[in-house]
Amino acid sequence: MMMAGGGDDGLDLAFKLQLAEAIQASPESSDAAYALALHAADLARAAHDALFARELAAIPEDRWAHDGDDFERPLDLDDPSSSSARRPLFFRVLFKGMASKDVVGPRVRDPGVAVLAAAVCGPQGEVLLRVQKVVEEGFVGGREVLEAMALMEGLHAALGLGIRRVHVVTDYRALHNHVVLFKCVNDVRLIQLHGIWRVTQKKVAEMLNQVVSVQRKFEQAELLLVYRSEVNYVIKLARDCIDDHIARAHAANASKERRETCSICFEDTDISKFHEIEGCTHRFCFPCMKEHVRVKLLDGMLPTCPQDGCATKLSVEGSKIFLSQKLLEIMVERIREGQIPPTQKIYCPYPKCSALMSLSELIQPLQQSSSKYTAADAVTLRKCVRCRGSFCIRCKVPWHDKMTCYQYKRRYPHARPEDVKLQNLAKQRCGYEFCYTCGKEWKEKKATCTCPLWEERNIIRHDGNGDVYYLDEEEDYYDEEDDYDVHYVEEGNISYNQVYWHYDDRRGNYHHYNY
């Protein structure tokens, strides 16, 4: 039992400690009131010092010389009979409600904004607090409603500073004649039930009722009608707030005006990210232009304007702004290929090169001083200008060393089906559209077959880690070991290999064997 009791005491002690820590960590509820009281005391002290300074300045010189050291005006904030209570000080509240339509010029687009400005000033006119506030969008109301809202902001600001006696000044006669006021005469609080003018608008009446509810929190609040020059400070505050909002609105509009919708991706893009094609002035965003050119180049075609029906060719110089260096090099190569006459075109037969060349630029080894080839080879032997590999220009295959063209064709009379298919695909650079699955022609951008446009398994691939990758890059997806070396002959060696691929149902993949 004692152990149980000791455990309960420990739990109680732990609970009390946690409660004490929580209370200590939580903000005191009286912190805000304490800070407000300190601020109000500072304001009262400053006002008292200013009043006492004026009294000292009014003392005649002869009296000051005789009794100046004996003058004092003690301040006791807690004693209602002190000088501060006997001679109350008034703070001033200035306010102004303003709409942008009242200040914008004829050439400036009105953003339709309304602002509230207020200032709380000390007895000497020094600004203690200023308020600038934009009215929420969708505001409906006239000037009197705005002025009443600004008055509310000023009164709330004064209450927040702990001020209880204010002179509220305005240059707007309509509001002055409508507002209900509290006024003290001979320390007696009098209530004026109605203003001079009768309120006819419901919205104005609702705002004035709110003003009355706030005024009840003051000991005295007098509304004074003054000249416009006496409220210039809050007028400037309101104008500055409107100007700032107009500048922000213009900046936002300018940002929107600097954007354009791409007709390919339908995205709003900054106009600085658009490319205008020379010759036709069609405009497209950089990403769409880059993708369009990339696809055309990889298809072996010269890129033209993406606009439907436009055949304007793109220039290398104009494409530098959105193309990578690699694509620029491919584009230069495609342009050079397009300048070679069809009868002069020849491709390097080596799979790792496949460079397109003109017959006139091929290298003839017999023209070199250290050539090891015989005169009989001069007719058909050529070298690639890129990889320097020797090949037969008649057979279009790597050089068949120690074999004539006749002997080579007798040994290999038929080309592989894969090579025939690739040769047929290579010829489709004229824009002929066909189904890649069955080979049937497309007419007017529509298929003539029933093959599906795509299948997910043909687009998305998963690696061993479960990551997804897409076969849409420019790289060659075949390893070096996957190159078909059929009829491939290194210089000085003869090796004729035929590679066959077989799909193994048990393994679920292809494997090759040599014949």
Residue 72 DSSP SS3: coil
Of the candidate CATH numbers 3.40.50.920, 3.30.40.10, 2.70.98.60, 2.60.120.620, the domain formed by 260-339 belongs to: 3.30.40.10
Compute, in degrees rounded to 10, the torsion defined by CA atoms 344, 349, 353, 354. Answer: 50
* CATH class held by domain 85-253: alpha beta
Beta-strand (E) ranges in 233-380? 259-261, 268-270, 274-276, 283-285, 345-347, 356-358
Q: What's the alpha-carbon Rg for the chain, to the nearest Å?
A: 46
- Record the tokens describing residue 59, joined without a space: 């003392």
Q: Per-domain residue ranges for the chain?
A: 85-253, 260-339
- Record the tokens describing residue 459, joined without a space: 């687009």
Closest Cα partner for 98 from 133, 130, 127?
A: 133
**Residue 45 and residue 171 in contact, taking contact as beta carbons nearer than 8 Å:** no
Beta-strand (E) ranges in 51-174? 91-99, 114-121, 127-134, 165-170
Residue-by-residue pLDDT tens, the chain, 515 positions = 344 444 455 656 666 666 566 555 555 545 655 555 566 666 666 666 766 677 777 778 877 777 777 777 776 555 544 444 445 678 889 999 888 776 555 445 555 788 899 999 887 788 888 899 888 766 667 888 888 888 989 998 888 888 888 888 888 888 877 765 545 444 444 444 345 666 667 777 787 788 888 888 888 888 888 888 898 999 999 988 888 887 877 776 665 667 788 888 888 888 888 888 888 889 999 999 999 999 888 887 888 899 888 888 888 888 888 888 888 888 888 888 778 887 888 888 888 888 888 888 888 776 555 556 666 677 888 888 889 888 888 888 888 888 888 888 888 877 656 565 555 555 555 566 777 667 778 887 788 888 776 555 544 444 555 454 444 443 433 343 344 334 444 443 333 344 444 444 544 444 444 44
C-alpha dihedral sign at 332, 338, 341, 345: positive
Alpha carbon distance 125, 93 (integer Å): 10
Q: Is 85-253's fold the same as 260-339's?
A: no
279: region left, alpha or beta (phi > 0 left; psi from -120 to 50 alpha)? left
Closest Cα partner for 227 from 170, 293, 164, 278?
A: 170
Provide the CA 127 distance to its chain's centre, in angstroms: 40
- Record the tokens describing residue 474, joined without a space: 């420019």
